[in-house]
């Protein structure tokens, strides 16, 4: 029955493809597929509605910073130091920090963050009524990053990238700087069931679990800052010839197959990779920054401050180059079960100047309005003392975090905890709400940003989440 | 140009939806031109089977759904605009019913079109496809009517009308019938060179060698293609390489990994025994019903000798290798989570049903109740899981391992201890505890007296103590009383206490209901003589009996679909792990039934038997060439008008490079890197001197690479390896620059290129002209064309230096052509 030459000769096919119905149909399908395969190369996608922020820098304060010593001022707690907590054996522990109102807005910040308070109080949008589901590090850390503590789910960064793509094709769209090796490790920047292209690229070694770090004296795992980014055994000239040969051979195959997105995509990705090799080392080279900038961040200070300063500066360089989502994990623990006053002061000292510098730097470059800076730990700490009396325990029921830039209301404190800072009571904001809000700021509707996996539409906020409208600038 | 645009528009519509219906248009042109595109654009997202959403109970992707309407009433009443809620919604006539939501109102012209369409009787060509039912079948009655929960039926094998010479098997008859029904023709057979490459990769995950290819072409010339294919298929199925490929497919589904994953991620040094068990099971073609039973209840099966006893215990490792929370809030919570993981993994793997969705509430889409779920919880809570991770500060939930018979001399990597050292360790632990108690008492006294207690007992001391005690426990667990290392495996046995579980409201342990649910299985499945669980048994054995019962509607279908998925690149049901309402409907429901019944009755659950039948079909033999006309009708190739092309998966890419370079070591390595180097927190792997940075460094087949959750060898991570915390029947394929960087710069490819170049040298001597051809043949099993030779010559002209050949070899290995299969 079917007597047409089969398969059609290349000439017939091309002829029919180069005009009329066939061509249009083919072109449209090819475009469709190219878009699909291009999606693998992360082109910019339009958001659901106009975005307030184009990129995110997430400053992750692993361990759970004490909110009642930093951003949540509780006069009642100060007054009732040493009183039993709810009739139990635990005693209330007043903060040893001096709180003051800063900026025109007069938001309360403790003396532990002098740079931030002095220069950026009016940029900060503090949420004092955060809460999360569990007071246990690994679960809360996973929930902060993926919305779920029970299942392996895509991370906030992966979802953002999935929704928006990336403006720079020569760099990964989602970068995480020195993430912890424990606390779920790669799950916290993973893509789970989303395609692998959306997962975060780790730059720098993973931070080791605190206990191991304390015993071994090492803080980071070894390894190059990024894998396979250079080949010391081959010259650029030879590599160029290789890329041309690969493209040439694949092009022959593509012509035979007429339509083969996988081959086409590969030709493109080798070109990109070739360019990435040059771009990444440049972006990572913070020595090229003027001395004044290095000084602003506090590069060269002794201890962990230097390291965190470099991370913050690198974060700016990455978003400036078009990376969509950058996470920075502070190289200091906030898990102050004991010796709270000394250790909290140390953690604040390590992070204060670099963070203030980052905000200043972004502002001076006109980037702060498009860049959402998020500062948060996985939970806060109890208003009562723990154990030997000089520390605070985990508290998931109420804590503080802040955001700046990227379309949030500056100089604003949202919601509140009870008189002691124990529980969020006014306008509580759950992690799901925070996620919904961050996506919203990026122009994404958290209910529409879905991915079909195993026959079900999944989203970052599962079936929860409300955008916190009040904090939108 | 104008006509082109019109054609283009029509095409778009055709492409977007159901071709047949649209082609059969008469009174429905208006619908196709004006209505359907608007529905697709604005409504399907929340109201269609494909999106899995039917907000307000409304589905707008079928005529019936549209007429039936949702919770508020019919969306469209033909001829009656006033009663059609769709009009009210899109014209924003009611404030609480404004559609599409949170968007501008549709243009007036569009709303006018809808009015006109309804006034004219709402002609709608959309027939009920297999994919259309109006509501999720969540109760038993409608559940039992849902296709997947109905027992497979024997369907008459259709006869081809137009291509009577084409079919070679019943499978082909089903395929051709559907093709003809849709106005499509099958593709011609692929060339023998292509077929042999396809067959080798599909069955063994390796390319054919040049000799193997020559041998195949010779036997085609001598005895014809049918005979040649049958012979080669039998050879490949008998080769040990088969189990390494198909065993790996199962390991994806079994969410196999060598660490606990999640927040604490401790390695499982004994997990590799289960991996080897799976590979052997596929090589020995253990009937799949038996394979299921061994994995769920091997410990309860009789064994004729110690070797079989060991094998059956190792099989239950299936239940123990899942992701684990070692840092859960409580032991009870952790046990509940383990049972949940076992239910989730096994119901998805064996029956494509997400039973674990019913942990906190009745399943929202499938007929699975909380009672069903907790009936299964009883089974797994009556079992003890041995996962064997060392206790440490990040792991309060260390687990035991199962001891394997001593008579077998199995490979063990733990160091032997002298008996006196065993005694010493025991004493050390006693001393440690005593010392710690003393320090604590002193600290408490000091605190009372207002002194600094940390002088006597600090956090650091507590932690140090935990580490030291954990380390001693860990050492002692690995040896017997005399200090000889134990051979052990992960797995499951019956728990000391056997009993039923209550339903926990919202899945929370704090809120059990008063009465308990008898151990059992989802009620929606009806069997003629369902197995009963004795009071003193967990019920795992009966679970296996229940799954493999000939009446079970899902098990054989799900397996047949998995096999099909690997051979034809997509499943008949594309959502291989979800056959429920939210999964996709089968493209060929009758064929799926047919294959499921063949599998059970004809092949007696032999996976090799089913594979053999399918690869010898005409359907499998088709060329993958592009055909415009067919492509326009069926761009996704759902009807199988050609063989779909596929990219090799991660293991194949690595193995093929090793193979071509002549580096591959085909013997099985003993254990795995993780097994040989002992248990630890995965975060510490980069510090282990005996573990390479890319977690590779071997020339064995990729199935033997270490699989640590969240910390995969580079090649696996980059080329879309299965997420090992999830059941994965079908892997994604991505195409990203990081993959290109791997080819350009990785240590692994660097080494392969060097060996490849050496191999070319030794085969072809010093003459560059011969190098080009020889390397090409080794890589692609064919000589280069004139154009390709010209490109290669150009390369050698533009590069100088002694490693040009190596760089040429590297480029060949990097081509997309090398890692894509026709």
Instruction: Report the DSSP beta bridge partners of residue A180.
Output: A207
Per-residue pLDDT for B391 more than 50? yes
CA distances from B752 to A239, B122, B770 (A): 17, 65, 20
Q: Does A463 touch chain B (CB under 8 A)?
A: no
Parallel, antiparallel or unpaired: strands A371-376 and A55-60: parallel
Report pLDDT for A237. 93
Per-residue pLDDT for B525 more than 90? yes
Listed residue (A205, B557, A289, B386) closest to A300, CA to CA: A289
Q: Which residues of B506-545 are buried (b: 16+ CB within 10 A; e: fewer)?
A: ebeeeeeeeeebebbbbbbbeeeebbebeeebbbbbbbbb
CA distances from B63 to B29, B59, B81, B480 (A): 15, 9, 16, 71
Assembly ipTM = 0.81
Query: Which of B647, B725, B788 has the CB atom closest to A252's CB atom?
Result: B788
Instruction: Say if the Cβ atoms of A277 and B741 lie within 8 Å.
Output: yes
Q: Which of A423-437, B83-97, B499-513, B620-634 has the lowest average pLDDT?
A: B83-97
Q: Which of residues 24-63 of A touch B (CB under 8 A)?
A: 24-26, 28-29, 37, 40-41
Query: Which of B463, B811, B815 has the CB atom closest to A211's CB atom?
Result: B463
Per-residue pLDDT for B398 more than 90? no
How far is C-alpha B568 from the chain's CA centre?
Answer: 15
Query: Which of A13, A16, A184 has the CB atom closest to B262's CB atom?
Result: A184
* Gap between the Cα atoms of B205 and A178, Å rounded: 37
Instruction: Identify which has the larger pLDDT, B632 or A130.
Output: A130
Total-model pTM: 0.79
Within 8 A of A250 by CB-CB distance, chain B residues are 815-817
* Gap between the Cα atoms of B273 and B271, Å rounded: 5
**CB-count burial class (<10 Å; 0-12, 13-18, 19+) for A63:** buried
Check if the beta carbon of residue B771 is closer than 8 Å to that of residue B792: no
Instruction: Say if the Cβ atoms of B710 and A190 lie within 8 Å.
Output: yes
Q: Which of residues 260-289 of A touch B (CB under 8 A)?
A: 260, 262-263, 265-267, 269-270, 272-274, 276-277
Structural element, H or E, at residue B320: helix B317-320
Q: Which of A22-31, A63-72, A185-194, B256-265 has the lowest average pLDDT?
A: A22-31
Per-residue pLDDT for B739 more than 80? yes
Instruction: Say if the Cβ atoms of B742 and A266 lie within 8 Å.
Output: no
Task: Indicate the pLDDT class of residue B171, thresholds 50, 70 and 90.
Answer: very high
Parallel, antiparallel or unpaired: strands A399-404 and A371-376: antiparallel
Query: Which of B337, B394, B711 has the CB atom closest to A209's CB atom?
Result: B394
Instruction: Say if the Cβ atoms of A8 and B628 lie within 8 Å.
Output: yes
Q: Does A82 touch chain B (CB under 8 A)?
A: no
Distance from CA of A121 to the nearest CA of B (A): 35
Instruction: Say if the Cβ atoms of B51 and A457 lie within 8 Å.
Output: yes
* Gap between the Cα atoms of A320 and A466, Å rounded: 30
Task: Indicate the pLDDT class of residue A173, thresholds 50, 70 and 90.
Answer: very high
Give the residue from chain B lying closest to A27, CA to CA. B8
Report pLDDT for A16. 38
Give the residue from chain B lying closest to A453, CA to CA. B575
Within 8 A of A13 by CB-CB distance, chain B residues are 626, 628
Q: Does A14 touch chain B (CB under 8 A)?
A: no
Task: Indicate the pLDDT class of residue A1, thresholds 50, 70 and 90.
Answer: very low
B346: CB partners within 8 A, 6+ apart: B296, B318, B319, B543
Write down the mean pLDDT value for chain B.
88
Give the residue from chain A lying closest to B14, CA to CA. A25
From the candidates A168, A191, A231, A246, which should be mutated to test the interface with B, based on the most B CB atoms within 10 A? A246
Structure tokens at A259: 């339509």
* Gap between the Cα atoms of B754 and B802, Å rounded: 12
Instruction: Say if the Cβ atoms of B263 and A40 lie within 8 Å.
Output: no
**What is the mean pLDDT of the segment spanning B540-549?**
98
Listed residue (B176, B187, B111) closest to B627, CA to CA: B187
Task: Indicate the pLDDT class of residue B393, thresholds 50, 70 and 90.
Answer: low
Report pLDDT for B83. 83
Please calculate the CA angle A327-A329-A331 and round it to the nearest 5 degrees. Answer: 155
Structure tokens at A385: 């003392």
Report pLDDT for B463. 61
**CB-count burial class (<10 Å; 0-12, 13-18, 19+) for B109:** exposed
Distance from CA of B80 to the nearest CA of A (A): 33
Q: Does A238 touch chain B (CB under 8 A)?
A: yes
What is the percentage of chain B residues whose pLDDT exceeds 70? 91
B783-807 tens-digit pLDDT: 999 999 999 999 999 998 779 999 9
Report pLDDT for B28. 65
Report pLDDT for B131. 39
Give the residue from chain A lying closest to B165, CA to CA. A1
Give the residue from chain B lying closest to A223, CA to CA. B693
Instruction: Say if the Cβ atoms of B817 and A218 lie within 8 Å.
Output: no
Q: Which of residues 356-385 of A touch B (CB under 8 A)?
A: none
Give the residue from chain A lying closest to B809, CA to CA. A242
Report pLDDT for B329. 63
Q: What is the DSSP string of B767-805?
A: -HHHHHHHHHHHHHSS---HHHHHHHHHHHHH--STTHH
Query: Which of A141, A228, A249 has the CB atom closest to B815's CB atom?
Result: A249
A47-82 tens-digit pLDDT: 888 999 999 999 999 999 999 999 999 999 999 999
For residue B156, the SS3 value is: coil
Query: Which of B188, B791, B799 has the CB atom closest to A249's CB atom?
Result: B791
* Gap between the Cα atoms of A350 and B550, Å rounded: 66
Task: Indicate the pLDDT class of residue B128, thresholds 50, 70 and 90.
Answer: very low
DSSP-derived letter for residue B127 is -
* Gap between the Cα atoms of A290 and B408, Å rounded: 68
Please calculate the CA angle A166-A168-A174 and round it to the nearest 5 degrees. Answer: 50
Report pLDDT for B295. 98
Q: Which residues of B250-285 are buried (b: 16+ CB within 10 A; e: fewer)?
A: bbbbbbbbbbbbbbbbbbbbbbbbbbbbbbbbbbeb
Torsion angles phi and psi, residue B403, rounded to 5: -80, 135
Check if the beta carbon of residue B670 is closer than 8 Å to that of residue B676: yes
B105: CB partners within 8 A, 6+ apart: B90, B91, B92, B98, B111
Within 8 A of B467 by CB-CB distance, chain A residues are 211, 215
Q: Which of A2-11, A174-183, A391-400, B182-191 has the lowest average pLDDT?
A: A2-11
Dihedral (Cα; B722, B672, B294, B614), 10-degree rounding:
50
Instruction: Say if the Cβ atoms of A445 and B447 lie within 8 Å.
Output: no
**What is the mean pLDDT of the segment spanning B319-324?**
94
Per-residue pLDDT for A280 more than 80? yes
Within 8 A of A258 by CB-CB distance, chain B residues are 626
From the candidates A454, A458, A463, which should be mutated to test the interface with B, based on the most B CB atoms within 10 A? A454
* CA atoms in the 13 A half-sphere facing the CB of B314: 23
* Gap between the Cα atoms of B143 and B365, Å rounded: 10
Task: Indicate the pLDDT class of residue A11, thresholds 50, 70 and 90.
Answer: very low
Instruction: Report the DSSP beta bridge partners of residue B21.
Output: none
Write down the mean pLDDT value for chain A.
88
Task: Indicate the pLDDT class of residue A270, thresholds 50, 70 and 90.
Answer: very high
3-state SS, chain A, equals: CCCCCCCCCHHHHHHHHCCHHHHHHHHHHHHHHHHHHHHCCCCCCCCCCCCCCCEEEEEECCCCCCHHHCCCCCHHHHHCCCCECCCCCCEECCCCCCEEEECCCCEEEECCCHHHHHHHHHHEEEEEEEECCCCCHHHHHHHHHHCCCCCCCCCHHHHHHHHHCCCCCCCCCEEEECCECCCCHHHHHCCCCCCHHHCCEEECCCECCHHHHHHHCCCECCCCCCCCCCCCCCCHHHHHHHHHHHHHHHHHHHHHHCCCHHHHHHHHHHHHHHHHHHHHHHHHCHHHCCHHHHHHHCCCCCCHHHHHHHHHHHHHHHHHCCCCEEEEECCCCCCCCCCHHHHHHHHHHHHHHHHHHHHHHHHHCCCCCCEEEEEECCCEEEEEEECCCCEEEEECCCEEEEEECCCECCCEEECEECCCCCCEEECCEEHHHHHHHHHHHCCCCCCCCEEEECCEEEECCCCCCCCCHHHEC
**What is the mean pLDDT of the segment spanning B299-311?**
97
Q: What is the DSSP string of B2-42?
A: HHHHHHHHHHHHHHHS-HHHHHT-STTHHIIIIIHHHHHHH
B410-437 tens-digit pLDDT: 988 888 888 888 888 888 888 888 888 8
Per-residue pLDDT for B127 more than 70? no
* Gap between the Cα atoms of B326 and B384, Å rounded: 16
Size of interface A-B (CB pairs under 8 A): 296
Check if the beta carbon of residue B747 is closer than 8 Å to that of residue B694: yes
What region does B322 belong to: left with phi over 0, alpha with psi -120 to 50, or beta? beta
Q: Does A20 touch chain B (CB under 8 A)?
A: yes
Task: Indicate the pLDDT class of residue B256, thresholds 50, 70 and 90.
Answer: very high
* Gap between the Cα atoms of B592 and B153, Å rounded: 10
**What is the mean pLDDT of the segment spanning B157-164?**
88
CA distances from A338 to A231, B275, B365, B447, B601 (A): 47, 45, 49, 14, 68
B10-64 tens-digit pLDDT: 333 333 333 333 333 334 677 777 787 788 778 887 887 666 677 777 878 777 7
Instruction: Say if the Cβ atoms of B742 and A228 lie within 8 Å.
Output: yes
Per-residue pLDDT for A349 more than 90? yes
Instruction: Say if the Cβ atoms of B575 and A230 lie within 8 Å.
Output: no
A303-335 tens-digit pLDDT: 889 999 999 999 999 999 999 999 999 999 899
Q: Which of B99-108, B292-301, B331-340 has the lowest average pLDDT?
A: B99-108
């Amino acid at each position: 029955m079917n007597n047409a030459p089969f398969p059609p000769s290349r000439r017939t096919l091309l002829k029919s493809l180069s005009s009329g119905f066939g061509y249009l149909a083919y072109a449209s399908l090819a475009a469709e597929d190219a878009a699909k395969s291009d999606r693998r190369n992360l082109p910019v996608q339009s958001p659901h509605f106009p975005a307030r922020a184009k990129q995110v820098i997430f400053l992750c304060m692993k361990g759970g910073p004490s909110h009642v010593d930093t951003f949540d001022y509780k006069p009642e707690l100060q007054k009732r130091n040493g009183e039993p907590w709810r009739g139990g054996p635990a005693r209330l522990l007043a903060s040893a920090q001096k709180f003051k109102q800063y900026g025109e807005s007069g938001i309360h910040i403790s003396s532990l963050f002098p740079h931030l308070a002095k220069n950026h109080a009016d940029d900060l949008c503090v949420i004092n009524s955060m809460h999360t589901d569990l007071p246990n590090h690994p679960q809360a850390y996973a929930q902060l990053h993926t919305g779920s503590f029970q299942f392996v789910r895509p991370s906030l960064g992966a979802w953002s990238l999935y929704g928006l793509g990336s403006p720079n094709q020569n760099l990964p769209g989602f970068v995480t700087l020195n993430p912890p090796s424990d606390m779920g490790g790669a799950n916290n920047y993973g893509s789970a069931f989303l395609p692998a292209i959306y997962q975060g690229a780790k730059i720098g070694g993973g931070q080791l679990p605190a206990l191991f770090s304390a015993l071994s004296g090492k803080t980071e795992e070894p390894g190059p800052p990024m894998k396979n980014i250079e080949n010391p055994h081959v010259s650029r000239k030879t590599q160029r010839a290789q890329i041309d040969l690969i493209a040439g051979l694949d092009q022959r195959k593509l012509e035979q197959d007429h339509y083969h997105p996988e081959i086409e995509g590969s030709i493109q990705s080798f070109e990109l990779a070739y360019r990435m090799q040059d771009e990444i080392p440049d972006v990572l080279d913070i020595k090229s920054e003027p001395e004044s900038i290095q000084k602003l961040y506090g590069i060269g200070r002794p201890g962990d401050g230097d390291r965190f300063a470099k991370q913050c500066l690198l974060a700016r360089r990455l978003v400036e180059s078009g990376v969509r989502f950058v996470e920075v994990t502070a190289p200091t623990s906030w898990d102050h079960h004991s010796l709270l006053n000394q250790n909290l002061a140390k953690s604040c000292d390590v992070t204060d100047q670099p963070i203030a510098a980052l905000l200043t730097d972004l502002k001076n470059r006109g980037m702060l309005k498009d860049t959402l800076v998020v500062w948060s730990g996985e939970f806060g700490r109890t208003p009562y003392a723990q154990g030997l009396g000089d520390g605070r325990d985990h508290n998931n029921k109420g804590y503080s975090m802040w955001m700046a830039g990227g379309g949030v209301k500056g100089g604003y404190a949202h919601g509140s905890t009870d008189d002691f800072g124990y529980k969020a009571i006014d306008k509580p904001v759950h992690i799901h709400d925070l996620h919904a809000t961050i996506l919203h700021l990026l122009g994404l509707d958290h209910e529409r940003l879905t991915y079909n996996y195993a026959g079900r539409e999944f989203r970052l906020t599962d079936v929860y989440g409300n955008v916190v409208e009040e904090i939108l600038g | 140009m104008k006509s082109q645009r019109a054609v283009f528009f029509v095409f778009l519509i055709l492409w977007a939806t159901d071709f047949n219906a649209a082609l059969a248009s008469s009174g429905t042109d208006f619908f196709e031109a004006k209505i359907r595109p608007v529905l697709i654009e604005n409504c399907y997202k929340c109201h269609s089977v494909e999106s899995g959403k039917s907000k307000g109970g409304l589905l707008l992707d079928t005529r019936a759904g549209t007429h039936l309407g949702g919770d508020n009433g019919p969306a469209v009443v033909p001829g009656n605009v006033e009663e059609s809620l769709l009009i009210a919604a899109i014209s924003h006539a009611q404030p609480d019913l404004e559609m599409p939501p949170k968007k501008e109102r549709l243009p007036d012209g569009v709303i006018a079109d809808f009015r006109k369409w309804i006034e004219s009787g709402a002609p709608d060509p959309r027939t009920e496809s297999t994919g259309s039912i109006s509501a999720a079948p969540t109760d038993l009655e409608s559940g039992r009517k849902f296709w997947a929960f109905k027992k497979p039926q024997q369907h008459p094998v259709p006869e081809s009308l137009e291509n009577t010479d084409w079919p070679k098997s019943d499978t082909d008859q089903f395929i051709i019938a559907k093709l003809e029904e849709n106005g499509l023709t099958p593709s011609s057979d692929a060339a023998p060179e292509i077929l042999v490459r396809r067959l080798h990769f599909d069955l063994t995950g390796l390319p054919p060698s040049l000799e193997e290819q020559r041998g195949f072409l010779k036997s085609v010339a001598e005895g014809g293609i049918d005979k040649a294919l049958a012979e080669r298929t039998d050879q490949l199925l008998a080769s040990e390489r088969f189990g390494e490929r198909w065993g790996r497919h199962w390991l994806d589904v079994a969410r196999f990994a060598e660490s606990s994953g999640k927040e604490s991620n401790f390695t499982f040094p004994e997990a590799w025994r289960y991996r080897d068990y799976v590979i052997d099971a596929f090589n020995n073609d253990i009937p799949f019903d038996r394979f299921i039973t061994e994995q769920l209840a091997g410990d309860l099966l009789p064994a004729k000798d110690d070797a079989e006893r060991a094998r059956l215990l190792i099989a239950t490792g299936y239940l123990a290798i899942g992701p684990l929370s070692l840092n859960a809030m409580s032991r009870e919570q952790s046990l509940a989570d383990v049972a949940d993981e076992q239910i989730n993994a096994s119901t998805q793997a064996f029956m494509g049903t997400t039973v674990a969705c019913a942990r906190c509430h009745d399943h929202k889409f499938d007929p699975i109740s909380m009672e069903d779920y907790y009936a299964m919880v009883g089974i797994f809570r009556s079992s003890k899981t041995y996962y064997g991770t060392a206790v440490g500060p990040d792991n309060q939930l260390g687990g035991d391992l199962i001891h394997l018979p001593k008579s077998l001399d199995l490979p063990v990597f733990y160091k032997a201890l002298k008996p006196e050292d065993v005694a010493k360790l025991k004493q050390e632990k006693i001393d440690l505890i005593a010392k710690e108690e003393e320090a604590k008492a002193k600290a408490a006294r000091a605190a009372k007296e207002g002194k600094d207690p940390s002088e006597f007992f600090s956090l650091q001391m507590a932690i140090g103590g935990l580490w030291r005690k954990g380390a001693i426990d860990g050492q002692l667990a690995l040896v017997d009383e005399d200090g000889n290392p134990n051979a052990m495996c992960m797995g499951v046995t019956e728990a000391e206490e056997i009993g039923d579980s209550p339903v926990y409201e919202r899945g929370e342990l704090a809120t059990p209901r008063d009465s308990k649910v008898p151990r059992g299985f989802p009620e929606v499945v009806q069997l003629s003589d369902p197995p009963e669980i004795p009071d003193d048994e967990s019920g795992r054995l009966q679970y296996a009996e229940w799954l493999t019962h000939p009446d079970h509607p899902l098990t054989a279908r799900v397996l047949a679909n998995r096999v099909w998925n690997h051979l034809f690149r997509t499943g008949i049901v594309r959502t291989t792990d979800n056959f429920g309402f939210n999964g996709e409907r089968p493209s060929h429901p009758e064929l799926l039934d047919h294959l499921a019944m063949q599998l059970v009755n004809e092949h007696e659950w032999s996976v090799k038997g089913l594979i053999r039948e399918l690869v010898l079909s005409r359907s499998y033999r088709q060329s993958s060439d592009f055909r415009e006309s067919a492509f326009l009708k069926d761009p996704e190739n759902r009807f199988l008008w050609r063989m779909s092309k596929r990219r090799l998966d991660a293991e194949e890419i690595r193995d093929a490079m090793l193979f071509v370079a002549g580096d591959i070591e085909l013997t099985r390595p003993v254990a795995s890197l993780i097994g040989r180097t002992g248990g630890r927190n995965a975060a510490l792997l980069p510090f282990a001197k005996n573990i390479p940075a890319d977690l590779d460094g071997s020339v064995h087949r990729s199935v033997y690479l270490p699989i640590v959750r969240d910390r995969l060898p580079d090649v696996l991570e980059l080329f879309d390896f299965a997420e090992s915390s999830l059941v994965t029947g079908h892997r994604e394929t991505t195409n990203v620059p990081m993959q290109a960087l791997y080819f350009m710069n990785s240590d692994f490819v660097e080494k392969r290129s060097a060996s490849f170049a050496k191999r070319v040298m030794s085969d072809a001597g010093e003459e560059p002209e011969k190098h080009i051809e020889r390397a090409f043949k080794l890589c692609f099993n064919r000589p280069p064309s004139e154009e390709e030779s010209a490109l290669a010559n150009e390369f050698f002209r533009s590069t100088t230096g002694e490693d040009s050949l190596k760089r040429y070899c590297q480029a060949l290995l990097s081509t997309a052509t090398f890692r894509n299969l026709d």
